[in-house]
């Protein structure tokens, strides 16, 4: 099945509201509009642990290094000394890589790459879009009800605070909040963010909630159903998430004006930038999550 790598220019795909390269087969369209949009095909960026996220954690790599070292130790006398040395060397190399990935030096380098400025059309400033989309972030704990926005994590709060500030400067805009919870018995994250938006002074009639999407790809599709492309939107999300989010909404046929927030690069001087820290570990995990997601989008042909 073709992924659309050799197809151009974009045309509307008949099986959904997204736009894909011309010449792509119906099967290709169905794959992208169906299976390709399902939650199990994309890394989840909302705080829920997945098997892929475990694999992308330097802590997991460090654990694997320890297991390799232990295996090499136990294999002494049972295999050739050269084989044991190779195992121990591999374990030591993986351990060093894991520890370096937990340092501010590596974490900031990865974050800086993802948070680099993205080009935006001149019309984004001269004629701001009338649709403002905010992608829901994560939570720190389970909410008691739909109005318990105290559970929102820092990224979620920063996204909404920035969106509300932008809306106040462009009060004609409709604010769309997109995102739900992975478990159906929990309040949708869009509802939690809406409660926070109202607490910040947003009028309820300016809000439109999209509570079905589980990931970035589905958010783009769901918003496209609310506002059929072509349309212009201002998109608010964390700076590290913006490259992948913009790609998803562009694939949905939107002209995207990126409004990144929640920048995470924090300069650290020597020798602190070489000391592993929990904050750096969290930043590295988030950056690796996005880089793998971007690679996946590139494989789909959504990124040139």
What is the per-residue pLDDT for 38? 39
Most confident range, picked from 23-37, 172-186, 253-267? 253-267
pTM: 0.81
Residue (of 145, 160, 148, 166) closest to 197 by Cα position: 160
What is the per-residue pLDDT for 247? 94
What is the per-residue pLDDT for 50? 63
What is the per-residue pLDDT for 84? 80
The 3-class secondary structure across the chain, one letter per residue, is CCCCCCCCCEEECCCCCCEEECCCCHHHHHHHHCHHHCHHHCCCCCCCCCHHHHHCCHHHHHHHHHHHHHHHHHCECCECHHHHHHHHHHHHHHHHHHHHHCCHHHHHHHHHHHCCCCCCCCHHHHCCCCEEEEECCCECCCCCCCCCHHHECHHHHHHHHHHHHHHHHCCCCEEEEECCCCCCCCCCHHHHHHHHHHHCCCCHHHEEEECCCCCHHHHHHHHHHHCCCCEEEEEEEECCCHHHHHHHHHHCCEEEEEEEECCCCCCCCCCHHHCCCHHHHHHHHHHHHHHHHHHHHHHHCCCC
Which regions of the chain carry the CATH code 3.40.50.620? 123-262
Lowest mean pLDDT among 81-90, 187-196, 197-206: 81-90
**Mean local confidence (pLDDT), 99-117:** 97
Residue (of 124, 135, 104) closest to 262 by Cα position: 135
**Mean local confidence (pLDDT), 97-102:** 98
* Token couple for 74: 């136990």
Phi and psi of 129, rounded to 5°?
A: -65, 155
Phi and psi of 282, rounded to 5°?
A: -60, -40
What is the per-residue pLDDT for 77? 66
Lowest mean pLDDT among 49-53, 64-68, 119-123, 262-266: 49-53
**Mean local confidence (pLDDT), 199-216:** 95
Superfamily for domain range 123-262: HUPs (3.40.50.620)
**Mean local confidence (pLDDT), 135-163:** 94
What is the per-residue pLDDT for 1? 39
């Amino acid at each position: 099945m073709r992924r659309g790598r050799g197809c151009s220019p974009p045309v509307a795909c008949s099986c959904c509201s997204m736009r894909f390269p011309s010449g792509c087969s119906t099967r290709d369209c169905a794959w992208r509009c169906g299976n390709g949009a399902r939650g199990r095909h994309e890394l989840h960026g909302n705080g829920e642990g997945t098997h892929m996220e475990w694999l992308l954690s330097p802590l997991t790599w460090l654990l694997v290094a320890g297991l390799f070292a232990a295996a090499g130790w136990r294999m002494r006398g049972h295999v050739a000394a050269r084989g044991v040395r190779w195992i121990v060397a591999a374990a030591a190399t993986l351990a060093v890589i894991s520890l370096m990935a937990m340092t501010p030096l590596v974490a900031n380098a990865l974050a800086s790459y993802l948070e680099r400025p993205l080009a935006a059309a001149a019309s984004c400033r001269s004629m701001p879009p009338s649709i403002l989309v905010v992608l829901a972030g994560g939570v720190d704990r389970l909410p008691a009800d739909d109005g318990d926005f105290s559970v929102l994590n820092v990224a979620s709060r920063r996204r909404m605070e920035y969106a509300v500030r932008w809306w106040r400067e462009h009060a004609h805009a409709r604010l769309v909040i997109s995102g739900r919870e992975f478990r159906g018995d929990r309040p949708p994250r869009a509802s939690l963010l809406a409660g926070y938006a109202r607490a910040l002074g947003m009028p309820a009639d300016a809000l439109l909630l999209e509570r079905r999407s589980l990931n970035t790809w589905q958010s783009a599709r769901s918003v496209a159903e609310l506002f059929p492309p072509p349309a212009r939107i201002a998109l608010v999300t964390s700076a590290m998430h913006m490259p992948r989010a913009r790609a998803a909404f562009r694939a949905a046929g939107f002209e995207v004006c990126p409004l990144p927030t929640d920048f995470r690069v924090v300069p650290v001087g020597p020798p602190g930038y070489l000391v592993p820290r929990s904050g750096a570990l969290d930043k590295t995990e988030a950056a690796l999550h996005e880089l793998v997601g971007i690679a996946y989008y590139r494989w789909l042909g959504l990124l040139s």
